[in-house]
Amino acid sequence: MSAVKRWLVGGAVIEGPGGVLLVANRRHNGAVDWSTPGGVIDEGEDVIAGLEREVLEETGLVVSGWDGLLYGIEVLAPDLGWHLRVEVHRAASVEGELALDDPDGIVFDAGYVAVGECDDRLAQSQLWVREPLSAWLGQRWTLARDFRYHVTGTDLASLRVSSVT
């Protein structure tokens, strides 16, 4: 039995003029989806430090304060051999101008999206990206929540993602 690949990802909810900051990601297969800024936290790196690094790399913005954890996401994909943990934090204060220069070459567009338009923008994103963010935007809870998902299948074009309660 092979080892399960594990990732820790940080996501940042940044609100500003016009709505919530979303970034467009071009995946290796050419597909495009939208998400909050963020990315993989390096081994041994503090989540907040890694999240600040990712936001700066993807958007040119410096987060100078945080309001705390909004929600956590666990995604288990046993058929693909991976486990994903995501921590999404809300930025309290941000400095700088939006400027795209992602060293990973994934983020190619970004902008503040009106809350009422976020669901349309997130339509092509994975369930574990769009569902928690849409829920938070609709409810604005103050205590962190957890979301869990299970992925079945090995063909990326036909994966089945289900919410786990």
Sequential DSSP letters for 79-107: TTTEEEEEEEEEEEEEES------TTS-E
Give the phi and the psi of residue 14 in degrees, each rounded to 5.
-120, 120
Can you give the CATH number for the domain in which 78 is found? 3.90.79.10
Full domain range(s) for residue 127: 5-164
pLDDT in tens, 83-118: 999 999 999 999 999 999 899 999 999 999 999 999
Number of domains in the chain: 1
- Sign for the pseudo-dihedral over CA of 55, 57, 62, 65: positive
Of 62, 55, 100, 78, which Cα lies nearest the Cα of 153?
A: 78
Give the phi and the psi of residue 144 in degrees, each rounded to 5.
-55, 145
pTM: predicted TM-score of the whole model, two decimal places:
0.94
pLDDT band per the 50, 70, 90 thresholds, residue 1: very low
